[in-house]
Structure 1
């Protein structure tokens, strides 16, 4: 099983997307780690005294529609690879995104952050206020999951040509990473989508969501978190959180078999020069 994904961060809001592609010849290796889903975290809620205006909880089925709209507006419309290709999220993402979210939230690792209305200071409900941030996480395993759904299940070259180009970058970035054998694990957490509304940037929500992902990862007895940063700012966010860069892909030299270099202009006209595979091992 090979994981891939992408992350965008503009310095105020932050966005991540993680996708998974199965490889038919991947070996099945039993090693340390858990293979169970996160039943103990499915109804998890969290309040932080340093962020009293917000409520954190694991994403529920009833959140899917609102979370989908949030990601379409604040992630897919802003991520640099999509922007460079003039990706239309309504055409190439909206049809499949809710289905992918419904699958991912089963792991009990995905978090939605809502703003607490001033009149709700004493409420303990997570279902308050507008969505201001989302962190979608998945678990990848050495064994095949017949129910697995991921971006590769929906994106085709003909129907979603721009998203397809982005998935080629992601696939290349994790090619030959061999993370399961490298870290002697049978499962890992992939930080898939993390998106903070820019209006609520600069308050530490991105770093808090990364920290809470680590906490939930420990709770479920996993030890490795990965994500793929497609922007310079997202790479810096992960480095600040203690991740290291395991692999880099240069946009100015990335090319398809036909010679097309779709992200060369992005590299020459912006600060976004590379995609990076970010990894953190939690002992």
Structure 2
């Protein structure tokens, strides 16, 4: 199947949503670890993906014949004057609210600029359709986004790795970890882990990682 890359725009919202439903939420460790359904997590995940539409830096990959989107790297640009990358947003779904709060707390206080960078390319949602994994598509999309980010004046890039695959890809591409959240530290009101840690240990993902790279 021949593939082509393209810049994501607002007209790709529906194709992005469909990809997130089958290729992101069912495989994202935290979503699975808290036994979420696709519908419970879609409001948050779709919002994060949509945030990168129309900015000019997000890239997608699609089947040339059908036009079906099979991989995305949704990102956007922030400056030191912008608000928090993750802002608290209230959803109808309880689990979307919980995960949103986790991401807000995780990113709070992380300074990606360090007083020397002026513009950051925030790599927000990386997703590859399960039928197209292990082909190097994720790395290709990250590199394309970095190249476009440089053209748009970005001097640093950041990514929040919520699974071990994204973490290893980021490290391979030169990203350095600046912050980590151990998932077994996330407790409910009774002091018990919120997530299924046995699943997460088997899957190999027991932490969230915040990584950055100078461009």
Change (3 A) 1:260 1:183: farther
- Gaps of at least 5 residues in structure 2 are none
Whether 1:226 aligns to 2:164 is no
Counterpart secondary structure, 2:21: helix
TM-score, normalisation: structure 1: 0.67
Counterpart secondary structure, 1:105: coil
Residues 126-275 of structure 1 aligned to structure 2 (within 5 Å)? 129-144=67-82, 152-153=88-89, 155-156=90-91, 159-180=92-113, 182-255=114-187, 259-263=191-195, 265=197, 266-275=199-208
- Gaps of at least 5 residues in structure 1 are 1-51, 118-127
Structure 1's consecutive aligned runs of 4 or more residues displaced over 6 angstroms after TM superposition are 148-151
Preserved contact between residue 137 and residue 191 of structure 1 (Cα < 8 Å) = yes
Change (3 A) 1:263 1:176: same
Deviation at 1:198, TM superposition (A): 1.9
Tell me what 1:31 maps to.
Answer: none
Stretch moving more, 87-96 or 64-73: 87-96
Tell me what 2:213 maps to.
Answer: 280
Mark the structure with the bigger radius of gyration: 1
Q: 1:85 aligns with which of 21, 34, 56?
A: 34
TM-score, normalisation: structure 2: 0.86
Change (3 A) 1:202 1:269: closer
Tell me what 1:74 maps to.
Answer: 23
Counterpart secondary structure, 2:60: strand
Preserved contact between residue 57 and residue 113 of structure 1 (Cα < 8 Å) = yes
Report the Cα distance in structure 2 between the residues aligned to 1:273 and 1:162, rounded to whole angstroms: 19
CA RMSD after TM alignment: 2.7
Report the Cα distance in structure 2 between the residues aligned to 1:79 and 1:116, rounded to whole angstroms: 27
Deviation at 1:222, TM superposition (A): 0.4
